Amino acid sequence: MNRSGYFAAAAVACVVLVAGSAAFAELTAEQTKQAQTLIKDFAAKEFTTRQAAVEKLIALGPDVVPLVKKVQGETADAEVKLRCQMTLKGITDKYGVTVTGPKAALKTSLEASKITMETTDAPLDEVMQKLSDESGNALIKVPGELADKTVTLKMKDATYWQVLDKVCEQVGAVYQPDFSSGKGGVTLVATAKANDLGGTNGPVSVKINSVSKTRMLRPWGPGQPLTNNLQCQLVFFWEDRIPVLSAEGQTTKATLPDGREVAQPAQPMGRMMVGMGGGRAQSFGNLFYQANDLGEGVNKLSTLEGTIKLTAGVGPDKEIKVDDVLSEGEKSGTADGVTLTVTHQGLGANNGNPDAAANLPIQVNIRATRDGEAVDVPIEQTGLKYGGFLIDPEGKRYTPMGFGFGGGWRGGPGRLKVVPAPGGNADGNAARTVTLTFFNVPKTEGKWSLLVVYPGDTVTKEYPFVIKDVPLP
């Protein structure tokens, strides 16, 4: 059976590629034959064959784009259309050609991805691959205990989280933060029976982790009435295609079945910096709700409400490159009116290790000036898109595992600030040196560079959420 039937009638957004940083040349006769053979494999029975064809076409480079676009426009096979789209997206990501159209807008949008998906008994791993391709989010890998599950869906213009919730409902799973891999993403966990309570809004999903109720015997001293206190622990997720710099969560109120509103003690918005992990940024956070006097006989909350606030970088991105940073002495690079001055330290050699030849930590210290005056170093180290990266002579990028400044870990996003005098900034604090620590960096001959990438601007948006009918213990 041809696996293309699994995604019959799937709507695939068209990705338009135009000449940008890569130009499209005509393929030779041999290259055209090779590309046509690979495109035929898009309809192969085996998933591995179809996936390998995509990867090999991407490796052929931007010159295959006209041929792939032609097939995409002419074929009626939904699976072939999907594989054409995957190839065009892969070429865009790898070679930096300019992209226009719906999917390009999603990349920088703080709105929800919209997914149209129609499947019949499709293997779960293929559904997750399609969901990743359609949304631009990282692929959620299928654990072994769910490997034989299949999915039947018919959804149009649904959000990413709505589709994922429906998939989990069918296969008997929930999605949770992925702590085990160290990559900071989302993982599927099989469950026999899930009471998966939550709410979604745009690119955000909020789930309840736990609910507990305690009875205070003497909260205010002898003779005072008993109280029933409530605590809810929640986890919130956002689509990881969004270059989020910081995330904030706050619960605000709950309502009871009789219409009463239960306020919680005043709390500030809980702010968190987005952590690094495995080259992708953390895409989840935690928040809590508590009520000190719930009353008697309350067995559920009709609603639990709150707000998630995301701050993300928006383009065009800016870059400052400093060449030959691992040689002796200070090195500098200038862009956008800002000069970065960099020194480095091989930690292994300083620790008395005579063999500093391979895989030893490297510490890079960075200062920034504008017009000769000290400013904050423009680093948002999320590990996904922005931050400071070591680039080896062959172009491979290394992400730091340690990030701090002025002798302590950073507590907020770095912004370019023109200061009134050297050594200070507009807030009256000294502009600080940023320190990046890289581990397991191999000894490679040639000139290494430091690349600092930061957003041209930032945007902040709030997403109210409501979770309904929360049962209480």
Whether this prediction's pTM lies above 0.85 is answered by no
Instruction: Sketch the domain layout of the chain as residue ranges.
Output: 3-172, 190-315+459-471, 318-454
- Enumerate the H helices of 337-429 as residue ranges: 347-350
Same fold, 190-315+459-471 and 318-454: yes
Q: How far apart are CA 433 and CA 451, in angstroms?
A: 16
CATH of 318-454, one of 1.10.3470, 3.40.1710, 2.60.40, 2.40.128: 2.60.40
Between β-strands 449-454 and 284-291, what pairing exists: parallel, antiparallel or unpaired? unpaired
In three-state secondary structure terms, 367 is strand
Three-state SS for the chain is CCHHHHHCCCCCCCCEEECCCCCCCCCCHHHHHHHHHHHHHHHCCCHHHHHHHHHHHHHHCHHHHHHHHHHHHHCCCHHHHHHHHHHHHHHHHHHCCEEECHHHHHHHCCCCCEEEEEEEEEEHHHHHHHHHHHHCCCCCCCCHHHCCCEEEEEEEEEEHHHHHHHHHHHHCEEEEECCCCCCCCEEEEECCCCCCCEEEECCEEEEEEEEEEEEECCCCCCCCCCEEEEEEEEEEEECCCCCEEEEEEEEEEEECCCCCEEECCCCCCEEEECCEECCEECCEEEEEEEECCCCCCCCEEEEEEEEEEEEEEECCCEEEEEECCCCCCCEEEEECCEEEEEEEEEHHHHCCCCCCCCCEEEEEEEEEEECCEEECCCCCCCCCCCEEEEECCCCCEECCCEEEECCEECCCCCCCCCCCCCCCCCCCCCCCCEEEEEEEECCCCCCCEEEEEECCEEEEEEEEEEEEEEECC
Bond prior to 222 in cis (omega within 30° of 0):
no
Taking only the tens of pLDDT, the chain with its 473 residues reads 333 332 332 222 222 222 233 334 456 777 788 889 999 999 888 888 888 898 888 888 777 888 888 888 888 888 888 888 888 877 776 665 433 333 333 345 788 988 999 999 999 999 999 998 888 888 898 999 999 999 999 999 999 999 999 999 999 999 998 877 655 678 999 987 666 889 999 999 999 988 887 766 555 555 555 567 888 899 999 998 888 888 888 888 889 998 888 876 666 555 444 544 334 457 888 888 888 777 777 888 999 999 999 988 877 788 899 999 988 889 999 988 889 999 987 654 434 344 444 566 888 889 898 888 888 888 766 655 788 888 888 888 888 876 665 433 333 333 333 333 333 344 444 557 888 888 877 877 788 999 988 888 888 899 999 999 999 88
State which amino acid sits at residue 269: M
Q: Rounded to whole angstroms, what are the CA distances from 295 to 59, 88, 113, 182, 303?
A: 65, 59, 41, 42, 16
CATH code linked to domain 190-315+459-471 = 2.60.40
Between vectors from CA 419 to CA 418 and to CA 425, what angle results, nearest 5°? Answer: 115
Angle between helices 78-95 and 124-135 (to 10 degrees): 50
